[in-house]
Amino acid sequence: MSYPSKLSVEPCVTTFDEFVQLADYSLMDTLNADPDATIDGDDRRARQVFSGHFVPVTPTPLAEPEYVAHSSTFFKELGLSSELALDEKFRSCFSGDISAARSPMRQVGWATGYALSIYGTEYTQQCPFGTGNGYGDGRAISIFEGIINGQRWEMQLKGGGPTPYCRGADGRAVLRSSVREFLAQEYMQSLGVPTSRSLTLYVSFSETVTRPWYSQDSHDLEPDILVDNPVAISTRVAPSFLRVGQLELFARRARSNAHPKALEELSMIVLHLIEREYKSDINQNLGFADQLVELAKLFRQRLTSLVANWLRVGYCQGNFNSDNCAAGGFTLDYGPFGFCEIFDPWFQPWTGGGKKFSFFNQPGAAEANYYMFWKAVRPLLAEEDAGALEQFEQLGRGFSEAMQKQVQKMWAAKLGLTEFNPELFKKLMQLMTHEDVDYTIFFRELSHIPDDVSALKKSFYGKTSQQLDEQWQSWLKSWRSLLPDGNLTEISTSMKQTNPKYTWREWLIVPAYQQAMQGDYTLVKELQEVLNYPYDEQSQDVEDKYYRLRPSALEDVGGVSHYSCSS
């Protein structure tokens, strides 16, 4: 596996006035606004939304916003000057005050509704009205869409205040969760895993909200105290924020004939998805039915590859519902997520997620989400499109096999093999689950292609017995015998480009957001730098600090080994 290098262009946008000229609003210009919405965007109370693709809504500005961080890497890729992050108008805009916007940028943003399905089962009770008409972007407000360097991007404020979908909540995000999402998105990009991106992070210390969280060294499963948190707004960026749950919402409305334009609105949102996420891959000259088949094929490819990559790097999307599944096939919504340290196939960082969204169950969750996508698009295929219908059906039936192929390809790459070996893999899983093994350190040390188990013990949390050592030694011998003939140095190099050295360790993230809550962003910036180069050998100081096992004192500590969805 190889991953794209960090491409950048010379900064050409240095002022806010230059930035606003990049605005171009395809979603608001081509899709339907909620007919019951206000024109000025003053639409922040929880209510039912019965039709339309979006609700115009303006964010709620942070009080006295303070700069925390920006992604200099992403700024460079976009051709934006890093000085923009400190520009007064830019800061105001991306901390929620978009009154400074000038044409063609608009002084109103938008929020979208979507449906909820959990593992293929449709739900409506999460909606306060019990109808599903109040579920959607409760605290995410998009404020910008434009074309930058030939690529369309949408910029969305996380924590921008309430929307009609807020379900009675305050629409805010706290600094803790905002630091996590800000760092995690750029880390995933550096890992070569498709993801939404981080642009900026601002905080208000004069505005706080109360959230349940864990007391110091708490071993409780759920939060045991209430904490006042500074409010923050992070800006996440993607080609679009269209979700499988959005397609589902319009399909549900079409099935129930919720309003006269329900089927038309489903068709519009699917065509918009193709335009936003698949335009370069789907021939626009194809008939509509054939475009839908291509869409289903491409989304399946992207989704299976994405989840295989999650397993490769140890990532667990603790709440992989259809509304957290980007229809563009990238990682979205860093809420209850985590990275596996001590290897456990059932690793689940979120206390509310259960086994269904655990580490090794993510392919199954992906299949359930793909089925909901498939089910949502299916009504747009007319019965007379017999050939397209059959291909569409086959794509749905073939998801599990396609997923298995991607996962096996990934495991072969992690092990430096040209093809997957079931017996070797089965034995490895038995050994890794019997031993407390650090997932990232083990595969990184294995990338040196050792011939003795002693070289792997850097990744073991406990002492091994002679019997276990012999089993490991036997496995190592079998593995080395299966490595392709050739230069072991080249194989090692390839494995190191697949198996990162530096991973997300929650116990190293916690001090960063704790210090940030005191106004000290030193560790946030340090983590940005370290996580920006996860495959590289870094300084000895960095290695000593970040390439090590989790201290035993932090085992089963709330907010570190597990956490609620509170954010």
Q: Which residues are catalytic?
A: 323
In angstroms, the CA 507 to CA 263 distance is 48
Q: What are phi and psi of 71, to 5 degrees?
A: -90, 100
DSSP per residue over 44-74, as a string?
-S-----S-SBEEEPPPPPSS-EEEEE-HHH
Residue 255, H or E segment: helix 244-255
Angle, CA 317 vertex, CA 315 and CA 322 arms, to 5°: 145
In angstroms, the CA 33 to CA 189 distance is 33
CB–CB of 59/172 below 8 Å?
A: no
Q: Name the token pair of 563.
A: 């956490």
Residue partners of 415: CB distance under 8 A and separation at least 6: 424, 425, 428, 446, 479, 495
55-57 and 225-238 beta bridge pairing: unpaired
In angstroms, the CA 405 to CA 410 distance is 9
Q: What are phi and psi of 331, to 5 degrees?
A: -70, 130
In angstroms, the CA 385 to CA 84 distance is 51
Q: What are phi and psi of 83, to 5 degrees?
A: -65, -25
Residue 381 exposure: Cα atoms within 13 Å on the Cβ side: 23
